[in-house]
Structure 1
């Protein structure tokens, strides 16, 4: 199953061996060190036997990989799971940090969302200052994915980061030399990691009350950490929103035809076909068949079939570019109007040369 989400791991010896063996294999093929990033989290596993900084530090020791330290993710996870973010930085191997990420988050009341759609918050700047003091003025990237501001706002944020980097006084320590890794276990011997990940994915897809999730909970006391149900609900909501948004983008003409009903169709399709593939193009084709089946007895059955075919053809011909032009045979005239309302220019039979 695929959720298109960055999910937490149980931080155990088994997980460390499992991840470490794969990092070593990838580095052997690529001939260079990987740079691994800490993710934002909304729940943790009660069965974890070590904190995340220790897990990452031991992974660095085993494999010689480097770290991409996302200080916004540290801030988000600390608030959501209830741990000390400065203590997190102090426990990391500072010399292994190859790059730092900055981003904005959104306060949702009971938790922080790693949204990448706002200015960097003051607590994240404080963490960045401490990270630079420990790791030195390493390369820094500002992430801002949606609700993009004026370019001057981005320049202001980058200038602030540059000023903090310039004041970083502590030179970074040398990365620890990799140790010889322990012998890898047989394929699939992951100490139950696959089982736990499948249980977490099932809980996200089906809802936390439907699946028994082994040992998932919050972190250490602090601000009240999120409960298991709250954390899974956040992951589930993000997964469903991403699927709906993807299908909105994939079917612009159908969206014009059925309006808000498309969202309900997308969620119903997701319930019937949960996360079986990470290929959104395959998801779109599966959804197309599902929609045609739902409307097979409707008076608009033929219209829906043609509109779905139009959207799929647009995606195939133009790689998802809604401004592209394509030629589609035997489409009814009203589709041209629907396509125009969706921002798509079409060459239909009888239109002549564009």
Structure 2
């Protein structure tokens, strides 16, 4: 496979901080959410960064490599296109499932709207390995996969996180994107030992490292990407850097952005944590060496666990994931063995994230509804699982509010919401439909009479 690209210090590129990122000294590379990029219309800021020699890595969030279904060819093609347009040395995705149900399980197809953990079982590992190989074959550059944060644990798991990731890398030759903030999240929420996980990882497969902030509430750590990086996360980064020289380290920040100086301060804290780890390093591992087995070797079989996942294995995993996701987003009974309290926390977090995303996709809705927006959306989410994407979700939510609003609601609010829904519910906005201009002119004439 060759050596891993040396990336250096980076930051997650977001439109809200594009100007600050361009001005920030010492930024070697950036990472951009793949699904937010249009290859034919890349943001000017990313184009300027590329012209300066700043590496741009597309980071996928919707492939669902840990799901029971094989990866969607269209999503893989889109990820490959972005890698080629950006001239990226690699692409990244998550070890997670994001949808479940459908034909495989003869149940309603559901979307999580978030990254959900894969059970660390032999069945799930077989499916994940095959899905990773499919993705590797479809991509023009190496793939790295990221460990995720979790609020809930699957019952009857057979492997630790470190063992699971080790076998995944060993069997597929895939690179690893290690998120130290997620290791801290799983330490607080699930009792997993970050040092033990690091000790079990094949660090020679490390592609780069994510660092992000979060917050603790009622004994649960929320991986918010909207708060400063906590010291325990930096300590895990130092521990990792004492074991291996990370090819790249990147700050993720998605909301509540500080000013440029604040962002620079967080990046500098990351540099300091890495330098501290390297100064005390006794590790002999050198990052960038090829993993223990190459992709070609793992495809031809390297040990008892290298076979393909059969349809029966995929169906078993699909049924388990559909039951969990349905409990989280559709209010069905909690599957046996799960912590009901934690599942409730996860369900509320999913609904809140969904409200936030719909508010960004359709920013007029929070403006029209004001303080009513979030509580009204959470009521709607309890009755209506996400099935058709966020733009459809925004339309369905508006229709729900119009249908269920109390009689004493402000008529102006109802009128504005109805106009918004009518303008967007058809295949073409009303303002662009044939005859719309004549209709507006006629209305103005009638109003003048």
TM norm structure 1: 0.78
In the TM superposition, residue 255 of structure 1 has moved relative to its aligned partner by 4.3
- Aligned counterpart in structure 2 of residue 231 of structure 1, from 336, 342, 346: 342
Over 3 Å counting, the alpha-carbon distance change for 1:87 and 1:312 in structure 2 is: farther
Matches within 5 A, 1:160-199: 160-166=269-275, 168=278, 169=281, 170=283, 171-172=285-286, 174=289, 175-178=291-294, 179=298, 180-181=300-301, 182-187=306-311, 189-190=313-314, 192-199=316-323
**Aligned residues of 2:209 and 2:246 also touching (Cα < 8 A):** no
Give the stretch that moved more between structures: 28-37 or 60-69: 28-37
1:55 maps to 2:177? no
Q: Deviations over 1:243-277 (max 9, x none)?
A: 22334445555545544333343233323321223
SS in 1 for 2:314: coil
- 1:246 maps to 357
**Aligned residues of 2:120 and 2:157 also touching (Cα < 8 A):** yes
- Aligned counterpart in structure 1 of residue 382 of structure 2, from 236, 248, 271: 271
**Aligned residues of 1:33 and 1:64 also touching (Cα < 8 A):** no
- 1:145 maps to 254
**Aligned residues of 2:182 and 2:223 also touching (Cα < 8 A):** yes
Over 3 Å counting, the alpha-carbon distance change for 1:315 and 1:98 in structure 2 is: farther
Over 3 Å counting, the alpha-carbon distance change for 1:257 and 1:63 in structure 2 is: closer
Q: Distance in 2 between matches of 1:258 and 1:105?
A: 28
- 1:130 maps to 239
**Aligned residues of 1:23 and 1:63 also touching (Cα < 8 A):** yes
Q: Distance in 2 between matches of 1:295 and 1:158?
A: 47
- Aligned counterpart in structure 1 of residue 217 of structure 2, from 89, 103, 108: 108
**Aligned residues of 1:254 and 1:311 also touching (Cα < 8 A):** no
More strand by percentage: 2
Over 3 Å counting, the alpha-carbon distance change for 1:294 and 1:68 in structure 2 is: same
**Where in structure 2 are there 5+ consecutive unaligned residues?**
1-109
Say how many residue pairs are matched: 316
- 2:333 maps to 211
SS in 2 for 1:141: strand
In the TM superposition, residue 80 of structure 1 has moved relative to its aligned partner by 0.6
**Where in structure 1 are there 5+ consecutive unaligned residues?**
217-227, 320-324, 332-347
Q: Distance in 2 between matches of 1:296 and 1:140?
A: 51
**Aligned residues of 1:42 and 1:81 also touching (Cα < 8 A):** yes
SS in 1 for 2:111: coil
Q: Distance in 1 between matches of 2:194 and 2:395?
A: 44
**Aligned residues of 1:314 and 1:326 also touching (Cα < 8 A):** no
Over 3 Å counting, the alpha-carbon distance change for 1:31 and 1:286 in structure 2 is: same
**Aligned residues of 1:137 and 1:166 also touching (Cα < 8 A):** no
TM norm structure 2: 0.62
SS in 1 for 2:162: helix
Q: Distance in 2 between matches of 1:349 and 1:256?
A: 26
